[in-house]
Amino acid sequence: MSATPLHTLSGNPPTKVSLRVPATTANLGPGYDTLGMAMSIFMDLTVEVADTYSFEVEGEGKEHIATDNNLLTDTCRIAFEKYAKKPMPPLHFSMRNNIPFGCGCGSSSAAAVAGFVAGMLLAGFTMETRGQEELLAVIAKIEGHPDNAAPAIYGGIQLGCKRESGDDVSFVTSRVPTPPNLSIVLFTPKKLMKASTEVTRNLVPQTTALSNAIHNISRSSLLVLALCSNKLELLKDCSDRLHENYRADQLYPHYRPCAKAAMEHGAEYAFLSGAGPTVCAFVSGRRGDILTQPEGERRVEQVAQAMLDAARAAGVEGRAIITQPSDLGVHLSGVHSSLPNVSYVNI
């Protein structure tokens, strides 16, 4: 990747920043490594210059997150040392994580984005986010692909791709319209089931039959059409042949019954979120508070219960989370000193 130009902030850098980053669901079935959506579940982070290093964490995955060295602190250090060319000062990190941990809901992407952006602001620089996509390139390089990184940065539904020219690699992303009144139901197992990224990727064959490639090209195109046109009835035909079944057969016995139950009880679409084990379902029609809705619009609760029951019957206990898409990607949640309007906020 070519050298990344930095844009220095005017005035003194802040000494404290508070950020919020959304959860993401990636692949969206046939859109393997290309499509991702931000969800209204958030990781909140405050980072402050301090006399000594400290790290506090609350919420999801607390027992699995190291407080001395983790992805969030690593990416913050990268912002200081690799890009700003200065040592990272002692910092106090305070994180409240509501994103389901290690189950295909983008917790690692959120940590990478939060850590790097916090470090970037504290170090006194910004990056281009339109055209050259400098920030996306950094996060995607850390993450490996743009389908989680792009919605974590920009929000909404993002269609990302990698450009390669010799040794130079860049990433671009475009927003796909989010259908109105769309609800998301997530089934997440109680126990951590996800293998390492390397293991889950190794389950996916490196080559495939031409018929499978054609299938996924047509279905991913149909998926984008359904989202752009709000014709969600088209989603029922947007099945995948590249990754879901390989992962489900080896790791996730609940996937097929859970997705099937969601569709039978009113979901427009169900798919494996990221590399799993979370199962994600799209349900349309929810408007306003549940207490004010006609019974016919309460399908989202029925879908959630059906997914729970189906997974339990397959031997997997878990929980259902009902949420919505998020138009917001990473954004400031508190201003502690004079900060400029930076281009990645609320795009």
Check which CATH number belongs to the domain holding 16 and give it.
3.30.230.10
Q: Are residues 153 and 201 in the same domain?
A: no
Q: Is residue 338 part of a domain?
A: no
Helix (H, G, I), strand (E, B) or coil at 310: helix
Alpha-carbon distances, residue 98 vs 22, 95, 290, 317 (angstroms) = 9, 10, 22, 20
What is d(CA 341, CA 347) in angstroms, rounded to the nearest whole number?
A: 12
257 lies in the same domain as 201: yes
Is residue 269, in this structure, part of any structural domain at all? yes
Query: Which sign does the torsion angle of CA 320, 326, 329, 335 carry?
Result: negative
Q: Let me know whether 70 and 214 are in one domain.
A: no
CATH of the domain at 215: 3.30.70.890
Please tell me whether residues 15 and 79 are part of one structural domain. Answer: yes
Residues 45 and 157 in one domain: yes
pLDDT tens across the length of the chain (347 residues): 445 556 776 678 899 999 999 999 999 999 999 999 999 999 999 999 999 999 999 999 999 999 999 999 999 999 999 999 999 999 999 999 999 999 999 999 999 999 999 999 999 998 876 666 889 988 988 877 789 999 999 999 999 988 877 777 788 899 999 999 899 999 999 987 655 566 777 889 899 999 999 999 999 999 999 999 999 999 999 999 999 999 999 999 999 999 999 999 999 999 999 999 999 999 997 555 555 666 656 789 999 999 999 999 999 999 999 999 999 999 998 756 555 444 333 32
Cis, peptide link before residue 146, omega less than 30° from 0: no
Please state whether the predicted TM-score (pTM) of the whole model is above 0.85: yes
Tell me if 319 is assigned to some domain.
Answer: yes
Q: Are residues 250 and 168 in the same domain?
A: no
Same domain, 289 and 252: yes
Whether residues 264 and 187 share a domain: the answer is yes
Tell me whether residue 288 is in a domain. yes
- Is residue 172 domain-shared with residue 198, that is, in the same domain? no
With 0-12 CB in 10 A as exposed, 13-18 as middle and 19+ as buried, what is 302?
A: middle
Residue 122 in domain: yes
Instruction: Tell me which residue range forms the domain holding 238.
Output: 182-323
Rounded Cα gap, residues 129 and 131, in angstroms: 7
